[in-house]
Structure 1
């Protein structure tokens, strides 16, 4: 399979002994051995290139200083009509064509024409958002000054599914390999959801402590199999709760007594980012194990711990855990803002992320770029 044609920026890893060439972006690695070294609990990757050996610290990006950030949306951002602009940009349209070979159907046609029910399904919405978000990068690149913006980006992240898009943009894996992972992720999450009655609901108007108290109250009334938990820390006043169907119904019934402004049942297959997704983990682990994954060219912030990682093996483990771990999006955005990020771009369908960033800092500079 041909590698991605996305012309990603070449970004230094801030160590004179490490370059994107030595990290295998041109397939020059002759041997890679992963070693867990006892250096303050950090994971290191030993890379041998010819007679030279380089050790990559997983905490390589720990002290990153963001100036411009690309943020990619997650499931729920999809909408019929997305991808229309990509039709008129050759490089963007090409991504959909390459996706068709992997998916086996005309993805752009579904994105533009629907039907909505088909586009909203977990198995289709995740690949659709992944491809459309990367197509938005190509739409930006085709604009005057677009390449300069792309080259200036020095940190990226994505909401849940969007983390895969961010890793693809950062060169951690090819467009095709990322799409294969996303396709499998959607299928595995759908199958896990089908195995048990579960759901997700957004709680609007409460802080995280109050939402946790609401979950605790609901859990006192249901069996272990229907327990609920905070699954998505979006932003102050907006947290998603996942769990068994009876537990979610209990949360909805009690929300007003906890002074919640409203609850919104999410149109997803089941209790994402909880133990309900355990059956998906082993499938993701197997797929990730056979996927070539490189150190990202720029920091990619993880949803699991809101930290960037450099070691490919560590990134794989975190991606497998991501479907059962709460999304730490609030911490991610807060960290970017606190570190002084100057400009953010939301690339892909919808404007959910822009809304979240503005809610956390009204003065934040964020621009949405669709496809």
Structure 2
């Protein structure tokens, strides 16, 4: 499944991209996981690694970002890439995966096996839960858009005057951000964003990609990453923090660690893809904001490999 041989004929100008994780309910992907042959194969591996039924655990989950939800998102994204190769004949020359999409990208590129990527995802989910139970326990990450930077700077100046913590966690597009802040300030922040003409999307708990989480990064490196042997990716990977090309095992390992304490810069990724001659992106994952960002749609032909599309083509 996925890119399995160096002899696969690749398509110049094509990238495989795995989107970051947003809230995805079981009802949104349950039919795909049940009936798609690629999903069933991936589920079988995931169940063997987990020691429990991912479908059952995910169906009962009330947390958008718990262990089961994370593994389910990884499983769906990986299966959709398999489907895109078979049904859309996608043969990329490069890949990217902003935020949580790094996990599926690591498996797709061959840096880790899918089974090891499931293990890594579980270990990281549990490590994060333990860390945020005692550190930054009241911090969340808010995603919002249509907020001019000059107005946002005024809002952040108010937070600074109040002595409140905040960190940028993502720069997704022009006037489109992810910001980590204390949950008690969430309603206040949403009100300020709305007054500035912006729109708040979703809130992530635990928070992600903030400079303050260096201790979590070090803990992950010491307690988790030593269990895994990373290989060099079989095709170039674009790091979501700075848009650099990653071609070595050490570089990919560093990129995965950087996700804990460095913000996502999606515009830098799309700039690198353009510079590498990419004209077509296959977005393999549940439908979410990354497929709709202006910097994604402006310069690229977009192939959407979503659960909905696979089911329509099966009908």
TM-score by length of 2: 0.84
Structure 1's 265 and 363: CA in aligned 2 closer, same or farther, altered over 3 A? closer
Which of 250, 268, 271 in structure 1 is aligned with 2:207? 271
Structure 2 residue 46 is the aligned partner of structure 1 residue 99: yes
- Which has more helix, going by share of residues? 2
Is 1:8 aligned to 2:7, yes or no? no
Q: Does 1:282 align with 2:282?
A: no
Cα 1:316–1:209 change in 2 (3 A) is: farther
CA distance in 2, matches of 1:169, 1:94: 15
Residue 62 of structure 2 is matched in structure 1 by 117
Give the number of aligned pairs: 301
Unaligned segments of structure 2, at least 5 residues: 308-315
Alignment of 1:195-274 (within 5 A): 195=134, 196-208=137-149, 210-222=151-163, 226-256=164-194, 259-266=196-203, 268-274=204-210
Kept after mapping to 2: 8 A contact 1:172/1:293: yes
Report the alpha carbon displacement of residue 239 of structure 1 after superposing the two structures with TM: 0.7
Deviations 1:48-88 (A, max 9, x none): xxxxxxxxxxxxxxxxx961011112221523231523444
Q: Quickly say closer, same or farther: Cα 1:324–1:260, change in 2 above 3 A.
A: farther
Q: Which residue of 1 aligns with 2:310?
A: none
Given that 2:141 and 2:207 are in contact with CA atoms closer than 8 Å, whether structure 1 keeps it comes out as yes
**Aligned 8 A contact 1:77 1:352 in 2:** no
Look up the match of 1:364. 300
> Which ranges in structure 1 are unaligned for 5 or more consecutive residues?
13-64
Cα offset, 1:347, TM superposition: 0.7
Q: Which piece of structure 1 moves more, 336-345 or 246-255? A: 246-255
Mapped to 2, the partners of 1:187 and 1:71 lie a distance apart of 26
Aligned mates of 2:276, 2:46 — CA distance in 1: 36
Determine if contact 2:240/2:268 at 8 Å carries over to the other structure.
no
Tell me if structure 2 keeps the 8 A contact 1:134–1:165: yes
Matching of residue 181 in structure 1 with residue 120 in structure 2: yes
Pick from 244, 247, 250: which aligns with 1:313? 250
What is the CA–CA distance in structure 2 between the aligned matches of 1:11 and 1:291, rounded to whole Å?
26
Distance 1:340 1:141 in 2: 20
Question: What is the DSSP-based 3-state SS (H/G/I as helix, E as strand, rest coil) of the residue aligned with 1:129?
Answer: helix
**Root-mean-square deviation (Å):** 2.7
> Secondary structure at 1:74's aligned position in 2?
coil
CA contact (8 A) 1:241 1:248 kept: no
Q: Using the alignment, how far apart are the partners of 1:66 and 1:83 within structure 2?
A: 34
Give a deviation string over 1:213-250, Cα, whole Å, max 9, x none.
4323312212xxx4112211111232111122345455
